[in-house]
Amino acid sequence: MKSARNPNIPLAGPIVLEKAEFFAAHSGYKDFKASSWWLEKFKNRNGIIYRTLNGESASISEEDCKKFLTDILPSLLEVYAIEDIFNADETGLFSNVYQIKLTFKGDTCHGGEKSKDRVTVMACANTRVD
């Protein structure tokens, strides 16, 4: 966890579970199964919390990005057909974000709260080119 988080690489629960099983198997624990219960106990023992990571204040260095693209990514991709490689991201689609009302100059405005109506949209595409 520390070696991945030090260069600001984001980690999600499924990645930690997968790595836990990998390290257990390589340490001789063949019957170990990392579960959500195991993950909760692991987080509690090690002072790990879930937190949304956003913004670029702690972005990954350019050198780390280049290393990933040249040294790591090609070996990860070689086992997949080009049409089986996807990228997906989610975003919020807001409706009625601002409820604009006409009024006269000098009038005070009330009820200017932003609408909270939103739909989460996931866009996904593969690398296939036709």
Entry pTM: 0.42
Domain parsing of the chain, residue ranges:
2-126
pLDDT digit string (tens) for 25-71?
999 998 999 998 999 998 888 888 776 655 555 567 788 889 989 99
3-state helix, strand, coil in the chain (%, to 5): 35, 15, 50
Instruction: Identify the bridge partners of residue 126 per DSSP, sorted by sequence position.
Output: 86
pLDDT digits (tens, 9 = 90+) for 82-93: 888 888 998 887
